[in-house]
Structure 1
Amino acid sequence: MVHRGPLESHRGHLLRKTGGLTPETAAFLAGLGIEPVANENLWQEALTHGSVGTVRNYERLEFLGDRVLGLAIAEWLYEQSDNTEGQLSQRLNALVSREMCARIAREIGLPEHIRLGKQARDDGGADSDNILGDVMEALLGASFLTRGFGPTRDLVRRIWANAVAGRAGHRKHPKSALQEWAAGNRRAVPEYSLAERSGPDHAASFTVKVLVRNVGEAEAKGSSKQEAETAAAAAFMEKYA
């Protein structure tokens, strides 16, 4: 057992009471090149899920960070190539998707620093693509407010470097591929329907069915309806195309 002195224990109590950053989280942010000392409450807000029950959580910062990330990636892709608008949009959508944001969050070690209520944590909230993606965007929103666009763009370019250098967005999106396959084979337009929704709101699971009449159907699960539709389209293509 680790014994804390009176001053250390008092400081820990104040951190919990005021919502200040823990030393571990401050070190995590510093490792990203972020020095949050000037506005710790904003960074804590970016890391706080609604299940904690505090007045402020990451939702407003997520809204802002989503736009900041989109601009940072769009500028980067524009600089990199002479691709058409459609090709740029395809790559942009893949690189700013919830799944990609969650992947980046895991790569930088974000999950252990998210503040979750007990039930949300017990339900696996710290590994939910929805929550991880949202918090990743919220951190970028906090970075934009405290440091401006330039340093935030530099952060995006550093932690998204492998994703941008990879193949994300080069292949056709499964739903687009299925749509084109159906049209090219004179089949009906693919029909998507929600087969099941389960789990609590913060860790929901969706099962979606896609049907192409006179061909067949396929089902798949995801942490969002959009993710499940994408997986269902991919499953259909693998099965029938």
Structure 2
Amino acid sequence: MKTLFKRLNIEPNNVELYERALTHASYANEHQTLKNERLEFLGDAVLGLLMTHYLFDHMNEDEGEMSKRKAQSVSEEALILYAGYIDLKSYLRLGKGEMQKGANQSMIADAFEALLAAIYLDLGFEKVKQVFAQIVIPHLKETYGMKDYKSTLQEFIQSGDKRNISYHVLEESGPAHNKHFKIVVKLDKQIILGQGEGSTKKEAEQHAAKDALEKGNYETKKNG
């Protein structure tokens, strides 16, 4: 991990925190250690704050456009892009089965968020802000063309009215290290617009939004 620390330009105080950030549930189950999911939860919030602050300072746009840019810049596809520049995939700790299959996109994206949380907890906000400036900001323009189906659907639904969309878990199955989610997206928590599946809630929500957009019936229901 010394190479990773060098790439991030950090000198950690608590190496175990970073090891945990890179530990997938499959490895944790096999070795009776902590997994990275709690750190991922915190890292998602840290990244969201950093991105929101940056866009507020550097974009002279309205709330809608900034929200669109933020959604693109913190999407799973974008996180994988950032993670690739530090070769984060090589440092993931996976269980034997997952190791044979190789890390999927969700694992890499989750580990990137968990890593940001580890830096924040270990070295503070200013240091994680420096890492953000080093790893994320130089590649933001590469994320602006990325498709974020949730944001696109939100724009269609909210254009001209105040109706809302929400995502609801229909089914959650599988062991902790290999979850599967089935999610529906609803208009005003009543009308089902689309359905999606994935290995994470984020992935399933994106697929549900894509399904709604492809069906195209959200427009009539929006005005119904």
Alignment-derived partner of residue 84 in structure 2: 106
Alignment-derived partner of residue 222 in structure 2: none
Alignment-derived partner of residue 57 in structure 2: 79
Q: Which residue identity lines up with residue 116 of structure 1 in the other structure?
A: L
* Cα distance in 2 between the residues matched to 1:69 and 1:237: 27
Tell me if structure 1 keeps the 8 A contact 2:23–2:35.
yes
Tell me if structure 2 keeps the 8 A contact 1:209–1:219.
yes
* Cα distance in 2 between the residues matched to 1:178 and 1:222: 23
After superposition, residues 31-180 of structure 1 pair within 5 angstroms as 31-36=7-12, 38-51=13-26, 52=28, 53-124=31-102, 126-129=103-106, 131-166=107-142, 167=144, 173-177=151-155, 179=157
| Structure with bigger RCO (C-alpha 8 Å, 6+ apart) | 2
Shift of 1:196: 7.7
2:177 aligned counterpart, secondary structure: helix
Alignment-derived partner of residue 29 in structure 1: 5
Q: Percent identity?
A: 33
Q: Report the TM-score when normalising by structure 2.
A: 0.70
CA RMSD of aligned residues (A): 3.7
* Cα distance in 1 between the residues matched to 2:171 and 2:38: 29
1:35 aligned counterpart, secondary structure: coil
* Cα distance in 2 between the residues matched to 1:77 and 1:106: 22
* Cα distance in 1 between the residues matched to 2:185 and 2:121: 42
Alignment-derived partner of residue 20 in structure 1: none
Q: 1:224 to 1:75 in 2, by over 3 A?
A: same
* Cα distance in 2 between the residues matched to 1:154 and 1:191: 34
Residue by residue over 1:140-174, the C-alpha shift from the partner in whole angstroms, topping out at 9 and shown as x without a partner, is 11211232212211211222125422425898723
Shift of 1:61: 2.5
Q: Which residue identity lines up with residue 77 of structure 1 in the other structure?
A: L
* Structure with the greater alpha carbon radius of gyration: 1
Tell me if structure 1 keeps the 8 A contact 2:75–2:148.
no
* Cα distance in 1 between the residues matched to 2:74 and 2:212: 25
Q: 1:31 to 1:191 in 2, by over 3 A?
A: closer
Tell me if structure 2 keeps the 8 A contact 1:90–1:169.
no
1:228 matches 2:209: no
**Which blocks of at least 5 consecutive residues in structure 2 are unaligned?**
188-192, 218-224
Shift of 1:80: 0.4
* Cα distance in 2 between the residues matched to 1:191 and 1:82: 29
Shift of 1:115: 0.9
Q: Which residue identity lines up with residue 30 of structure 1 in the other structure?
A: K
1:202 aligned counterpart, secondary structure: coil
Q: Which residue identity lines up with residue 152 of structure 2 in the other structure?
A: P
* Cα distance in 1 between the residues matched to 2:67 and 2:132: 18
Q: 1:199 to 1:158 in 2, by over 3 A?
A: same
